[in-house]
Amino acid sequence: MTSAEKPTVLIVGAGLGGLSLGILLERAQIPFEIFERTSTIKPLGSALSIGPNLIPFLEQIMPIEEFFNASKPMTDVQSFNEQRKFVFSSDFSPIEELTGYKQHIIARPVLYDLLLRRIPAIKVHLNKRVLDIGEKDDKVFLRTSDNGYYEGDILIGADGAYSAVRQRLYESLRQKGQILKSDLEDLPFRCTCLVGQTDVLDQEEFPQLKEPICQFWSTLGENKPFSWVTFTTNDSRICWMTIQHLSKQESKEAEGERFRNMDNSEWGPIAAQSMCDDTRAFPTPGGNGTLTMGDLYDRTPKNLISKVMLEEKVFETWHSGRVALLGDACHKLNPSAGQGAVTAIHDAIALANLIYSLDSISLSAITRIFTLYKAERYPIVLEAYKSSEFLSKRIERSFTGLLARWMSRHTPLWLWKIMLAKSVKYRPTASFLPPVEVRGSVKPDVHLSGTLAGEAFRRRQEQQRGAAERSVCLMT
């Protein structure tokens, strides 16, 4: 692929998935621009669990010590009751033997900053709300609310669960009778959630912060439809989530409330404060034995507390023409398994590999790689969706929740290791960047996107060597 044949990629959404794709395109020297609808990027969110499924990719794009220094190893998830008494734990320490990597906890805003700094600022455009997308004269275009008009060869919608790109794409397909009815249905959700992270805390007041291993603690409400989770970070902060499990009627009422306030998955500050007030007395382990969620809320900047709803859906339509979707725009997972951000970044790796493998920017060539993209990623995402759904049941007050907790407590170690081994086989990397040493007893799966990018990389290296040799011959 010569410079004249390299596609220009328009990425809508500067989330973790959009940034990851931008980083890889920058490394591949493929032109791109990122368009973000907000005027500023707020460091919202709680913590993410990042392990062997992503660390090899991070090794390719940054000095990996930056990630390790910004995160904290995690070996287990401990569950407590409302009396702050330990109930059971899930042991993730075998992952290190299986892959050579530990699982790590990192604050979402911190990981976001690590990725953002690897993209030239000039390529990230803020306050670019998408009004329209379309295709014209072998190009794809987008129009933004500030009268901006941009053209490219590929458009990627990485703009979240309420993706403007998906909505415009699906409306176009609906008019042509080319969209499934299920794809047009509203995003279902069973939970709302408060998320945030505290300011730096005093380790004497919060001694769990002194532990070198992340203290990942989950509490299930005994007579209330709530569960809450806290994570310690390496910079003496506590990330937290408070989850409300809704009935069908409550979900419907919450949806109406949310849409009266905003046009995405986040409510405004008044709704967040109201939920803080309702849940501040919830007890949580740590501190001096009387710690409550309210103590953590009070130590969290109010503008960094957000209330979101936890939608769950895997869409069937991921692409059409020169437009494809990435991350939450085509699959929204419950955060219980910590797979939402991971799957978005995995989408970005697969797409980057496939875009790199292009030998033409024709519509047929782009349609082919988008078809391969969905064929590769869809079954993996569906498996992650089911895993997230099961883990979300463990913190519900229902018969299904009781069964899920019983299974978690009584799973034999040998079976648990088999389940962990299966979960870590997908460890994708960019095949056009220097490879990362394969570690551990479980080898990563090989996927077509990486194979195609690797073949393209070797072919272009041979072409460059041939051109260099011919140049030397002409000079002599």
Identity at 469, one-letter amino acid code:
E
Q: Which of 12-16, 41-45, 135-139 has the lowest mean pLDDT?
A: 41-45
Q: Give 327: exposed, middle or buried? Use CB within 10 Å, 0-12, 13-18, 19+.
A: buried
What one-character DSSP code corresponds to residue 159?
S
What's the pLDDT score for residue 469? 79
- Do 194 and 178 share a domain, yes or no? no
Residue 332 shares a structural domain with residue 395: yes
Helix (H) or strand (E) run with residue 467 in it: helix 448-475
Q: What is the pLDDT of residue 287?
A: 80
132-162 b/e (C-beta count within 10 Å ≥ 16 → b): ebbbeeebbbbbbeeeeebebbbbbbbbbbb
Summarize pLDDT for 115-160 with one digit per residue, the tens. Answer: 999 999 999 999 999 999 999 999 999 999 999 999 999 999 999 9
Task: CATH number of the domain at 369, please.
Answer: 3.50.50.60
Q: In terms of C-beta density within 10 A (0-12 exposed, 13-18 middle, 19 or more buried), how is residue 3 classed?
A: exposed
Same domain, 161 and 32: yes
Give the model's pLDDT for residue 339.
77
225 burial level (CB within 10 Å; 0-12, 13-18, 19+): middle
Say if 246 falls within a structural domain: yes
Residue 25 and residue 162 in one domain: yes
User: Residue 267 above 70 pLDDT?
Assistant: no
Structural domain ending residue among the three candidates 267, 292, 311:
311
Phi, psi of 201, rounded to the nearest 5 degrees: -110, 160
User: 255 lies in which domain range?
Assistant: 45-108+189-311
Write the CB contacts of 115 (distance below 8 Å, at least 6 apart in sequence).
Answer: 16, 19, 20, 23
pLDDT of residue 279: 97
Same domain, 31 and 62: no
Distance between CA 316 and CA 6 in Å, rounded? 29
Specify the higher pLDDT residue, 343 or 390.
343
Tell whether 224 and 166 lie within a shared domain. no
Give a yes or no: residue 462 inside a domain: no
What confidence score (pLDDT) does residue 78 get? 94
Determine, yes or no, domain membership for 424: no
- Are 284 and 240 members of one domain? yes
Could you tell me which of 350, 366, 367 has the C-alpha nearest to residue 358?
366
The structure tokens listed for 25 are 């395109």
In a domain, 459, yes or no: no
Q: Are residues 326 and 212 in the same domain?
A: no
Residue 171 placed within a domain: yes
How far does CA 377 lie from the centroid of its chain?
14
Pairwise CA distance, residues 78 & 84, whole Å: 11
Amino acid at 99: T
CATH number at residue 290: 3.30.9.30
Asked, for residue 97, whether it belongs to a domain, the answer is yes
Contact between 164 and 334 (Cβ < 8 Å):
no
Residue 445: per-residue pLDDT: 95
- What whole-number distance in Å separates Cα of residue 188 and Cα of residue 179? 19
Please indicate, yes or no, whether residues 102 and 195 belong to a single structural domain of this protein. Answer: yes
276 shares a domain with 258? yes
| Alpha helix stretches (DSSP H) within 265-362 | 269-279, 293-298, 340-357
**Number of folded domains that form the chain:** 2
Q: Are residues 93 and 201 in the same domain?
A: yes
Question: What whole-number distance in Å separates Cα of residue 82 and Cα of residue 78?
Answer: 13
Instruction: Give pLDDT, residue 441.
Output: 95
User: Could you give the count of Cα atoms lying within 13 Å of 241 in the half-sphere of its Cβ?
Assistant: 28
* Domain annotation covers residue 440: no
Q: Which two tokens stand for residue 347?
A: 């989408």
CA proximity to 419, closest of 127, 185, 29, 92: 92
Question: pLDDT tier at 397 (50, 70, 90 boundaries)?
Answer: low
**Residues 184-211: what's their mean pLDDT?**
92
User: Is residue 422 one of the residues assigned to a domain?
Assistant: no
The DSSP secondary structure of 84-146, one letter per residue, reads: S-EEEEEE-THHHHHHS--EEEEEHHHHHHHHHTTS-GGGEE-S--EEEEEEETTEEEEEETT
Same domain? For 218 and 294 the reply is yes
Q: What is the pLDDT of residue 262?
A: 45
What does pTM read for this prediction?
Answer: 0.93
Rounded-to-integer distance, Cα 274 and Cα 258, Å: 13
Of 280, 311, 342, which residue constitutes the final position of a domain? Answer: 311
Helix, strand, coil percentages for the chain (3-state, nearest 5): 45, 20, 35
Torsion of CA 459, 465, 470, 472, to 10 degrees: 170
pLDDT of residue 396: 58
Tell which of 311, 342, 377 closes a domain: 311
Distance, CA of 229 to CA of 153 (rounded, Å) = 43
Task: Kindly state the percentage of the chain with pLDDT values over 70.
Answer: 89
User: In this structure, which amino acid lies at residue 87?
Assistant: V
Residue 395 has pLDDT above 60, yes or no: no
Q: How far apart are CA 450 and CA 432, in angstroms?
A: 8
The arrangement of strands across the sheet holding 9-12 comes to: 124-125, 32-35, 9-12, 154-157, 323-325, 319-320
